[in-house]
């Protein structure tokens, strides 16, 4: 059998099942051959280099789960300049141990404000100021030669109203009108709106926009100029399958499925996390694996803890949808722990998540290009005696610096008086208080928090992803509002340009940038030598008391325990918490020291201490 025939044989059932689930059995006779035809053409066009990469990945299907994975995310122009200039930054990335580079939306967007590139006008063209598709392909080759996989966004919930499909729809072309969700009057929009939340209540209230050209209402979940696509139309599916093949054949290795939760709309619901979303992902993944098995999917679903795990494939979708998903709950709980110097809520919430599918891998991050929304479940809060709404209010107060004792300097994003929600923008330095720290003691404390939060994401077992600038302790960009189109959107405050002055200090450990950089580099180096951090093993909550959180990884090689003190106090906990898991001579690989109890059997943790403990005999050093 040919490779193509083998792959079709392998993935056909996944494809047919999911097509049937979304588009019905009657769609199969036409839709399946259309999809397979497009996939076969893309398979035939795949270059020899990329076919070799496919073979490599097939030989190591758990490549994304390896402990040496470290991610980095940035806007191309803010990080380097053009796509070709990124090559000059490879050295910096390698010093940090980076193996995965997410370059923010780089396909041609609408002119003017475009939501940081998330309003795409042409999926087959690169942003002209960044370069061309040839430059993108060349960059993928350069990165791969240094062991770095290129991650690129695919915006598939909406297109810019300037996209040719939207232009054709507005001009009255019935075929393209059916690519969108449009309505002659407010009847259906009002009925949907009864249960729809608002994503940008501040600058884009509501979920529908009246288009004067078309004389109809258009579904616009995000901005008025981002038109939601009608995924119930199989033509939309075929278009996006082909766009994914196009990106795959340019050398993109991970496709970030932007705002994937919103793809399917259902009356009477919040129109997020609908079952069809997962089935659509399964269709796209089955086809992508036929064309380019090296390519992985990453789900960007910033949803509550109860919905999150489904994005890594549970039930019928186990192992069949996204390989990666953002661990939004971990991110939120990290900030919550630091603000209240307590681990109770985090231990409960993280400890009660359903098990992670063994083939799924979390993207572990302390923050990204977006704001932080306090996705804290009311039931989780109640279980530990907290009021969910009050705690979310506290977190907004803390991270905006409004709370009297808080050193944080975040900005309030999208305050919603109706729900009381206030999301937060800010770099890691702004949120940990590093930005406002003036004396040695407060700088030390803030650096302690910076190191701790990164130790948690590096030690969780997924792929830790650093947002550009955080490795140098970069503060909020004071001039974020000055750039055209940015003034309404303070997320730009935490998307600073890589500062050459800070970069130059990265090896000077007497400076703040140097101290942050050394910390992250250290974590990356240790991580890559620890088989215990292979992502197929989940992190379990082993123990939590006050400011101390202890996680356990039952790795094949032996257990690994991570201990974190989320407070500015020196605290103790009983040594049995560690020895109870079968350790004879526990060793902390972060400080490279034996873990020894005092005469009372207590272990002492300095402020913001982070320990990764393994058995001495397994010490990779
Ligand atoms: C995702 C992006 C965010 C963008 C939205 C709409 O959530 O991360 O920046 O505004 O999708 O595309």
d(CA 429, CA 435): 5
- Percentage of the chain exceeding pLDDT 90: 97
Q: Is the CB of 153 under 6 A from ligand 1?
A: no
What is the DSSP secondary-structure string of 301-339? ----HHHHGGGG--GGGTTTS-SEEE-HHHHHHHHHHHH
Using CA positions, which residue lies closest to atom 6 of ligand 1?
118
Strand pairing category for 558-565 and 548-555: antiparallel
What's the Cα-to-Cα distance from 56 to each of 10, 244, 248, rounded to whole Å?
18, 20, 15
Using CA positions, which residue lies closest to atom 9 of ligand 1?
370
Q: What local confidence, expressed as pLDDT, does residue 503 receive? A: 98
Mutation test residue for ligand 1: of 110, 113, 119, 259, the one with most atoms within 8 Å of CB: 259
Mutation test residue for ligand 1: of 115, 365, 369, 495, the one with most atoms within 8 Å of CB: 115
Q: Which atom of ligand 1 is nearest to the CA of 491?
A: 9
Strand pairing category for 120-126 and 107-109: antiparallel
What's the Cα-to-Cα distance from 621 to each of 73, 242, 473, 525, 559, rounded to whole Å?
30, 48, 28, 11, 17
- Using the mean position of ligand 1's atoms as its centre, give its distance from the Cα of residue 258 in Å: 6
| Residue among 620, 616, 614 nearest 555 (CA) | 614
Instruction: Confirm whether 68 is a catalytic residue.
Output: no
The DSSP code for 532 is: G
Structure tokens at 221: 């979940």
Mean local confidence (pLDDT), 109-124:
97
Q: What local confidence, expressed as pLDDT, does residue 306 receive? A: 87
- pLDDT at residue 332 greater than cutoff 70: yes
Q: Is the CB of 370 under 6 A from ligand 1?
A: yes
Q: Which atom of ligand 1 is nearest to the CA of 155?
A: 12
The dihedral formed by the CA atoms of 125, 128, 130 and 135, expressed in degrees to the nearest 10:
50
- Alpha-helical (H) ranges within 385-479 are 388-399, 428-432, 440-458
The DSSP code for 489 is: -
Q: Is the CB of 155 under 6 A from ligand 1?
A: yes
d(CA 529, CA 507): 22
- Using the mean position of ligand 1's atoms as its centre, give its distance from the Cα of residue 118 in Å: 6
- Using the mean position of ligand 1's atoms as its centre, give its distance from the Cα of residue 249 in Å: 25
Q: What local confidence, expressed as pLDDT, does residue 540 receive? A: 97
Mean local confidence (pLDDT), 477-489:
95
Mutation test residue for ligand 1: of 113, 258, 371, 372, the one with most atoms within 8 Å of CB: 258
The counts of H helices and E strands in the chain are 21, 25
Q: Give residue-wise pLDDT tens across range 398-436.
A: 999 999 999 999 999 999 998 899 999 999 999 999 999
Q: Which atom of ligand 1 is nearest to the CA of 157?
A: 12
- Using the mean position of ligand 1's atoms as its centre, give its distance from the Cα of residue 57 in Å: 29
Looking from the CA of 620 toward its CB, the CA atoms found within 13 Å total 16
Q: Enumerate the β-bridge partners of residue 543.
A: 550
Q: Is the CB of 228 under 6 A from ligand 1?
A: no
d(CA 430, CA 591): 26
Catalytic residue among 258, 323, 380, 477: 258
Looking from the CA of 415 toward its CB, the CA atoms found within 13 Å total 7
Q: Give residue-wise pLDDT tens across range 75-101.
A: 999 999 999 999 999 999 999 999 999
- CA–chain centroid gap for 219, Å, is 25
Q: Give residue-wise pLDDT tens across range 190-216.
A: 999 999 999 999 888 999 999 999 999
Q: Which atom of ligand 1 is nearest to the CA of 116?
A: 9
Using CA positions, which residue lies closest to atom 8 of ligand 1?
370
Read off the pTM. Answer: 0.97
Provide the b/e sequence for 276-303 (b: ≥16 CB within 10 Å).
bbbbbbbbbbbbbbbbbbbbbbbbbbbb
What is the DSSP secondary-structure string of 154-199? EE-SEEETTSHHHHHHHTT-HHHHTTB-EESSSHHHHHHHTT---S
Structure tokens at 167: 């232009």
- Percentage of the chain exceeding pLDDT 70: 99
Contact 255, 152 (CB under 8 A): yes
Q: What local confidence, expressed as pLDDT, does residue 305 receive? A: 83
Mean local confidence (pLDDT), 39-66:
98
Catalytic residue among 115, 211, 300, 377: 300
- pLDDT at residue 243 greater than cutoff 70: yes
Using CA positions, which residue lies closest to atom 7 of ligand 1?
259
d(CA 202, CA 238): 34
Contact 547, 566 (CB under 8 A): yes
Q: What local confidence, expressed as pLDDT, does residue 621 receive? A: 57
Structure tokens at 128: 């002209």
Q: Give residue-wise pLDDT tens across range 499-517.
A: 999 999 999 999 999 999 9
Q: Give residue-wise pLDDT tens across range 171-192.
A: 999 999 999 999 999 999 999 9
Structure tokens at 374: 């306090």
Instruction: Confirm whether 52 is a catalytic residue.
Output: no
- Using the mean position of ligand 1's atoms as its centre, give its distance from the Cα of residue 84 in Å: 25
Q: Is the CB of 261 under 6 A from ligand 1?
A: no
d(CA 496, CA 490): 11
Mean local confidence (pLDDT), 217-243:
98
Q: Is the CB of 583 under 6 A from ligand 1?
A: no
- Using the mean position of ligand 1's atoms as its centre, give its distance from the Cα of residue 371 in Å: 10
Q: Is the CB of 115 under 6 A from ligand 1?
A: yes
Q: What local confidence, expressed as pLDDT, does residue 617 receive? A: 75
Residue with tokens 């932007």: 258
- pLDDT at residue 620 greater than cutoff 70: no
| Residue among 300, 121, 271 nearest 207 (CA) | 271
CATH numbers and ranges of domains, the chain: 1-157+232-323 (3.20.20.80), 159-228 (3.90.400.10), 536-618 (2.60.40.1180)
């Amino acid at each position: 059998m040919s490779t193509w025939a083998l792959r079709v044989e392998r993935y056909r059932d996944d494809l047919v099942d999911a097509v049937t689930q979304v588009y019905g059995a009657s769609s199969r006779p036409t839709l399946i051959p259309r999809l397979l035809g497009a996939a076969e053409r893309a398979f035939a066009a795949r270059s020899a280099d990329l076919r070799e990469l496919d073979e490599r990945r097939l030989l190591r299907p758990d490549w994304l789960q390896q402990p040496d994975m470290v991610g980095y995310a940035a806007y191309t122009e803010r990080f380097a300049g053009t796509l070709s200039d990124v090559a000059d930054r490879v050295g910096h990335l390698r010093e940090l141990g980076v193996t995965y580079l997410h370059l923010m939306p780089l396909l041609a967007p609408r002119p003017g404000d475009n939501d940081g590139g998330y309003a795409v006008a042409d999926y087959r063209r690169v942003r002209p100021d960044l370069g061309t598709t040839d430059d993108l392909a060349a960059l993928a080759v350069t990165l791969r030669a240094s062991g770095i996989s290129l991650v690129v966004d695919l915006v598939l919930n909406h297109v810019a109203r300037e996209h040719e499909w939207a232009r054709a729809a507005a001009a009255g072309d019935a075929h393209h009108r059916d690519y969108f969700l449009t309505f002659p009057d407010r009847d259906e929009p009002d009925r949907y709106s009864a249960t729809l939340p608002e994503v940008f209540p501040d600058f884009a209230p509501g979920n529908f926009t009246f288009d004067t050209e078309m004389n109809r209402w258009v579904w616009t979940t995000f901005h008025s100029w981002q038109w939601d696509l009608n995924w119930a139309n199989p033509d939309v599916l075929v278009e996006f399958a082909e766009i994914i093949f196009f990106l795959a054949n340019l050398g993109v290795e991970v496709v970030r499925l932007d705002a994937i939760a919103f793809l399917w709309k259902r009356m009477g619901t919040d129109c997020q996390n609908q079952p069809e979303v997962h089935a659509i992902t399964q269709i796209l993944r089955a086809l992508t694996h036929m064309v380019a098995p090296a390519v992985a999917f990453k789900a960007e679903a910033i949803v509550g803890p109860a919905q999150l795990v489904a994005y890594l494939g549970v039930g019928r979708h186990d192992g069949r949808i996204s390989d990666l998903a953002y661990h939004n709950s971990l991110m939120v709980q990290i900030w919550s722990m630091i603000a209240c110097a307590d681990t109770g809520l985090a231990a409960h919430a993280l400890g009660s998540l359903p098990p992670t599918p063994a083939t799924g891998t979390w993207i572990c991050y302390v923050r990204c290009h977006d704001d932080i929304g306090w996705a804290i479940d009311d039931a989780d809060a109640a279980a530990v005696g907290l009021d969910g709404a009050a705690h979310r209010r506290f977190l907004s107060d803390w991270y905006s610096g409004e709370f009297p004792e808080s050193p944080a300097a975040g900005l309030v994003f999208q305050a919603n008086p109706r729900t009381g929600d206030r999301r937060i923008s800010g770099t890691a330095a702004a949120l940990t208080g590093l930005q406002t720290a003036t004396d040695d003691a407060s700088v030390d404390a803030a650096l302690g928090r910076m190191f701790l939060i990164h130790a948690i994401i590096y030690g969780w077992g997924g792929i830790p992803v650093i947002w550009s600038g955080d490795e140098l302790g970069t503060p909020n960009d004071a001039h974020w509002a000055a750039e055209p189109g940015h003034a309404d959107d303070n997320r730009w405050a935490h998307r600073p340009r890589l500062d050459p002055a800070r970069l130059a200090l990265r090896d000077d450990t007497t400076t703040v940038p140097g101290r942050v950089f050394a910390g992250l580099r250290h974590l990356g180096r240790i991580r890559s030598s620890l088989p215990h951090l292979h992502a197929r093993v989940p992190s379990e909550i082993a123990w939590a008391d006050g400011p101390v959180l202890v996680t356990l990884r039952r790795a094949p090689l032996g257990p690994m325990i991570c201990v974190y003190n989320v407070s500015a106090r020196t605290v103790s906990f009983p040594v049995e918490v560690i020895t109870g898991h079968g350790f004879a001579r526990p060793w902390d690989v972060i400080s490279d020291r034996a873990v020894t109890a005092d005469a009372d059997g207590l272990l002492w943790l300095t402020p913001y201490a982070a320990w990764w403990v393994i058995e001495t005999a397994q010490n990779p050093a």
